[in-house]
Amino acid sequence: MKVLVVDYGSQYTQLIARVVRELGYYSQVVQYDEQVDLEDVQAVILSGGPASVYEEDAPKLPDWFEKYEGKVLGICYGMQLVAHSLGGKVEPGEKAEYGRTTIRLIEDDPIFFGVEKETTVWMSHGDHVKVLPKGFKVLAKSTDEIIAAATDGKRYWLLQFHPEVRHTLRGREILHNFLSKICNLKPNWNLEDFVSKKIEELRETLAGKKVIAALSGGVDSSVACVLTHKAIGENLLNVFVDHGFLRKGEENEVPKVFKEMLGLNLVKINARKRFLEKLRGVSDPERKRKIIGEEFIRVFEKQAQQHGATHLVQGTIYSDVIESAKSGKKTAAIKSHHNVGGLPERMNLQIVEPLRNLFKDEVRLVGEILGIPRQILYRHPFPGPGLAVRILGEVTEEKLEILKEADRIFIETLKETGWYEKVWQAFCVLLPVRSVGVRGDKRAYDYVLALRAVDSTEGMTADWSKIPHEVLDLAARRILNSVKGIGRVVYDISSKPPATIEWE
């Protein structure tokens, strides 16, 4: 059984899919113009989106929509699209509704079971449904008298507000009502089942094969490796690449933690020299990323050959998949995330991605089920190209040393003050700028370091973390007092968008 979430480009599409899973139903995101296998699809949710249905090339209902026979929930753009397609009227409103709004229930309907007659919802729209198609009735209106919910009582339930957003007080109940009371589904998605089925599946597909795994020591690959190890044991060889751009001491910590805490062996490949050499004189961020991506491939190729491996395990997760589907279509390429996804043809290795359908928080829960310590599961994400994309411009050994030390101090300060677990990701960036200072009555002329800390759920949008001034002060003073080469520390207060989390 699955719930299909059809993406019209809303910022909240992933959130819909996650909330549905948290309610216990397996969900999958598809693009509106994607071909879809309808087997097993028991409910369809149409997301919101930035377009207006009355514009000429506005996205339409999916090609397969007529073939699908079940119930449909339309949210925001999804509502407007259904109304428009069935002969209703959608118009730009005189004023947009944005943010918290009160709605008033007008008719009883299972979708509002247990919801008060007046309730707070989250709106984010400029257009609205002015006239409903024939056979539809209004279920709720907003204080501005806009149709907030409607249904034909048979196939369609339409919401102008966003039930997936936390600010909609009864949003979860409303989604749950749709799935349980209207679609008659029973929750059956749970991660314990996922783990045992996945291990069984890996055991079958990888029986008797030699397999290597790209292990970074990060959350995703750690969970992927442990899961695969449970399935095939000693046939798995974990490969950890030390490209020289890891955090301070990590090249020793990761192997130690893996051996001591998880009883797993890995081969550490010291590839520092070749990575640094390849990057010499290169300062363009995209070229840096491509070179690093390619070197990763070369290292894995060699290991696979030595080990006689036919398969490569990697820690790809669902948001990577969704994001790359998006960037494949309409979205401009922002940056080439080092992704080992380009490996298959070039390596003749079959790719195994056991966590491909899971969100990061689900990956962490799977890790807990597998008994992986919190210390590993609740680490901040760390990008594959590592510090090389946090030294703006050319990467040199001198700069790496400076950044490693500063980063260590910042992270330690966050841990000491209890802020490490409160932020989603934190790190330092070394800027290619020098600034004048005064040290012991002498003129100094040293690099500028930026501290970055963000709150996020999947890394696709982010806000800068409101770390208390005292904590920032402590980190800055420690860095300025002890890291030679840094003369000034600044805190990055940009959100994503329009900035990105990393600087390159």
Ligand X SMILES: O=c1[nH]c(=O)c2[nH+]cn([C@@H]3O[C@H](COP(=O)(O)O)[C@@H](O)[C@H]3O)c2[nH]1
Ligand Y SMILES: Nc1ncnc2c1ncn2[C@@H]1O[C@H](COP(=O)(O)OP(=O)(O)OP(=O)(O)O)[C@@H](O)[C@H]1O
Ligand Z SMILES: NC(=O)CC[C@H](N)C(=O)O
Kindly list the catalytic residues: 76, 162, 164
State the nearest-atom distance from the C-beta of 496 to ligand X, in Å: 5
295 binds ligand Y per the rule CB under 6 A: no
Helical ranges in 333-482 per DSSP H: 343-347, 360-369, 374-377, 397-416, 469-482
Q: How far is the CB of 58 from ligand Z (least distance, A)?
A: 9
Q: What does the alpha-carbon distance between residue 151 and residue 366 come to, in Å, rounded to a whole number?
A: 38
Question: Which of the ranges 103-111, 123-131, 254-262, 352-360 carries the binding residues for ligand Z, by CB under 6 A?
Answer: 123-131
CB 447 within 8 A of CB 484: no
Q: Does residue 82 bind ligand Y (CB under 6 A)?
A: no
Residue choice 126, 342, 393, 437 for contact with ligand Z (CB under 6 A): 126
CA distances from 451 to 78, 389, 444 (A): 40, 14, 21
Minimum CB distance to ligand X smaller for 9 or for 218: 218
User: Quick check: 215 binds ligand Y (CB under 6 A)?
Assistant: yes
Q: Assess 468 for contact with ligand Z (CB under 6 A).
A: no
Q: Which residue stretch of 209-217, 287-295, 296-304, 306-314 sits at the interface with Mg ion (rule: CB under 5 A)?
A: 209-217
Q: Is 217 annotated as a binding residue?
A: yes
The one of ligand Z, ligand X, Mg ion, none whose footprint includes residue 500, by CB under 5 to 8 A per kind, is: ligand X
Distance CA 217, CA 226 (A): 11
**What does the binding site for ligand X look like in residue numbers (CB under 6 A)?**
289, 335, 337-338, 381, 383-385, 425, 459, 496, 500-502
Pairing of strands 211-214, 462-464: unpaired
Give the integer Cα–Cα distance in Å for 129 and 304. 58
> Which residue of 32, 240, 258, 382 would you call a contact of Mg ion, by CB under 5 A?
382
Quick note: the x/- pattern for ligand Y over 156-195, rule CB under 6 A, is ----------------------------------------
Is the Cα dihedral 246, 251, 257, 259 positive or negative? Answer: positive
Please select the residue that binds Mg ion; options are 48, 74, 133, 218, rule is CB under 5 A. Answer: 218
Rule CB under 6 A: is residue 49 a binding residue for ligand Z? yes
Shortest distance, CB of residue 165 to ligand Y, whole angstroms? 25
Contact 406, 305 (CB under 8 A): no
Q: Is 74 in the site for ligand Z (CB under 6 A)?
A: no
Binding flag, residue 50, ligand Z (CB under 6 A): yes
Q: How far apart are CA 91 and CA 83, in angstroms?
A: 11
> CB count, 10 Å around CB of 295?
20
> Residue 323: enclosing H or E segment and its boundaries?
helix 318-328
Cα dihedral 274, 278, 280, 281, rounded to 10, equals 180
Q: How far apart are CA 206 and CA 143, in angstroms?
A: 59
Tell me which amino acid residue 365 is.
L
Q: Which stretch binds ligand Z (CB under 6 A): 42-50, 147-155, 273-281, 320-328?
A: 42-50
Q: CA 87, CA 74: separation in Å to the nearest integer? A: 15
Binds 459, which of Mg ion, ligand Y, ligand X, none (CB < 5 to 8 A, cut-off by type)? ligand X
Residue number, 171 or 217, with CB nearest to ligand X: 217
Q: Which regions of 277-407 does DSSP assign to beta strands (E)? A: 311-313, 350-352
The C-alpha R_g of the chain, in whole angstroms, comes to 25
- The answer to whether residues 434 and 448 touch, using CB atoms and an 8 Å cutoff, is yes
Contact call for residues 79 and 123 (beta carbons, < 8 A): no
Instruction: Answer yes or no whether residue 165 interacts with ligand Z by CB under 6 A.
Output: no
Cβ nearer to ligand Y, comparing 53 with 312:
312
Which residue of the chain is nearest ligand Y when measured via CB? 218
Closest contact distance (angstroms) between CB of 313 and ligand Y is 7
Candidate residues 9, 133, 244, 383; the one interacting with ligand Y per rule CB under 6 A: 383
Known binding residue 222? Answer is yes
For β-strands 2-7 and 41-46, DSSP reports them as: parallel
- Interface positions with ligand Z (CB under 6 A): 10, 48-52, 76-77, 124-127
- Interface positions with ligand Y (CB under 6 A): 214-216, 218-221, 240-241, 314-315, 340, 381-384
Annotated binding site for ATP: 216-222
